[in-house]
Amino acid sequence: MGHPTVYPTGVTVYNPDKAWSGFTIVSAPELGALLINMNGAEVRLWKDVHGFPNKIFPGGHIMGSTGTRNPKYALQDQLDVVQLDWEGKIVWKFDRAEFVEDPGSEPRWVARQHHDFQREGNSVGYYAPGMEPKIDSGNSLILSHKDVRCPYISEKPLLDDVIYEVNWEGEIIWEWVCSEHVEEMGFSEAALNAMSRHPNFRGGSLIESAPSVGDWMHVNSMSTLGPNKWYEAGDQRFHPDNIIIDGRETNIICIIEKKTGKIVWQIGPDYDTSPELKALGWIIGQHHAHMIPAGLPGAGNILVFDNGGWAGYGSPNPGAPKGEKAALRDYSRVLEIDPTTLKIVWQYTPMEAGFLIPLDASRFYSPFISSAQRLPNGNTLICEGSDGRIFEVTAEHELVWEYICPYKGNIGMPMNWVYRAYRAPYDWVPQAGTQQEEAIKPIDVASFRVPGAAPLGPLSAVKVEGTVGYYGGAGHCVGSTD
């Protein structure tokens, strides 16, 4: 689908009566951690703090990273994870996961963090009543990379996902390695064969000059479950300390038992093996799968941005002749799922957005990155990441806030992509002071024109060779019923 070369940026829609107002933290490409208010005013920029993602904490603190390893020797590895105060002072730092000696760079310790981290006190990294992340103590869960060899997956060198629990002093006190649990994941023989040959071997194809490694699972989200009704009812799978992750390349969402490391709940990699999974439909290339925290509408359900696009391993087919990226769909869905029945409780798809499936379903489509956050009033904040579009919808799917990122970063081409976005209450950032809120009504695109291109005059119907044409003066036909 084509895109215009000129389009509005900033906040384009805001209904203060229906939106859940606060500050939104945006990882602005090639700029830093950007805090905006509901009208799009840029309240604070932590320049060059490029979070993967950025998260805003109480007291105006921010978490992110100060840099990325040279892409010639690493794929999406962050140098560190840091917490900064409002003034930009680093008050906490972790980088001692691995000591690296990259050619042309000083040998150093690095975190190799990617895609997610969580601070004790809050299970998911966004606001939930009574669940404030600690800012001067507590442990952190950090999603990182590790280079491994695992013949069960492939003979090729692999880029694996590892979760570290790190205390306030920066010491690793717990570790979980993804490849050590691959045999629990239920891959078919066809999937294992495809994965063995092509374990998402990145080899510089998607990331310029990236090392040749098999990013076989590509975990992009990780959080604890936190207190929830399922565990309180006796279901041990949903212990508050257990960890939910999703694997973008395998179409898997699973829950890890913290005590043993075993997988105790899972959907994917296939979605045609039971009536419940068939009704759910294929989840493909998903991001930000997490359990909605206690205190928010939908608490206990799993919220996920189901990207679509291309992902998974399986039998070769016309869209995936090698069996890699075997599942395809050219539109996105946001799903809220009951984890005990797998029923969809709420969704936002092209249909709810007002588009026809499949004719123009790709108008809601982000094949990579993206996120979704449940807000206290029942609205959902959605980051349609590849388009740089962040928007808020009500439970009835009404659009009540929309922001288009004006900044571009280069991922093979200039794009205004936004990895994730989070909404936080005003009182988490007292330094910003009181914010003015002004409603922004949607632009009437039928009458809006760039200066110099005035709208046509009053329209009148005329009959032309059996059709009805609409003339705007000067003899220019601008519409027809044909």
pLDDT digits (tens, 9 = 90+) for 344-397: 999 999 999 999 998 999 999 999 999 999 999 999 999 999 999 999 999 999
Q: What angle do CA 207, 55, 298 make, to 5 degrees?
A: 105
User: By three-state DSSP, how is residue 372 classified?
Assistant: strand
Cis peptide before 358 (omega within 30 of 0): yes
Kindly tell me if the per-residue pLDDT of 171 is higher than 70. Answer: yes
pLDDT of residue 464: 47
pLDDT of residue 2: 64
pLDDT of residue 481: 34
Kindly tell me if the per-residue pLDDT of 477 is higher than 70. Answer: no
**Chain mean pLDDT for the chain:** 92
Mean pLDDT on 242-249 = 98
pLDDT of residue 72: 87
User: By three-state DSSP, how is residue 25 classified?
Assistant: strand
Mean pLDDT on 109-114 = 98
The proportion of the chain whose per-residue pLDDT surpasses 90, expressed as a percent, equals 85
How far apart CA 58 and CA 35 sit, in angstroms, is 13
Mean pLDDT on 138-145 = 98
CA 301 and chain centroid, separation: 17
Q: For 10-443, which CATH superfamily applies?
A: TolB, C-terminal domain (2.120.10.30)
Beta strands in 278-323 (DSSP E): 287-291, 302-306, 309-313
Q: Would you kindly state where each structural domain of the chain is located, as residue ranges?
A: 10-443
The tokens 């003066």 sit on which residue?
473
User: Are the C-beta atoms of 118 and 138 separated by less than 8 Å?
Assistant: no
Distances (CA, A) of 262 to 35, 185, 249, 299: 38, 10, 20, 24
Kindly tell me if the per-residue pLDDT of 302 is higher than 60. Answer: yes
The pair of three-digit structure tokens given for residue 50, joined into one six-digit string = 């490029």
The proportion of the chain whose per-residue pLDDT surpasses 70, expressed as a percent, equals 92
Question: What sign has the CA pseudo-torsion 215, 217, 218, 224?
Answer: negative
Split at pLDDT 50, 70, 90, the class of 61 is very high
User: Are the C-beta atoms of 213 and 149 separated by less than 8 Å?
Assistant: no
pLDDT of residue 136: 98
pLDDT of residue 1: 57
- Residues near 132 by beta carbon (within 8 Å), at least 6 away in sequence: 57, 58, 121, 122
Kindly tell me if the per-residue pLDDT of 469 is higher than 50. Answer: no
Split at pLDDT 50, 70, 90, the class of 410 is confident
pLDDT of residue 210: 61
Kindly tell me if the per-residue pLDDT of 173 is higher than 90. Answer: yes
How far apart CA 125 and CA 168 sit, in angstroms, is 17
Kindly tell me if the per-residue pLDDT of 480 is higher than 70. Answer: no
Mean pLDDT on 51-68 = 97
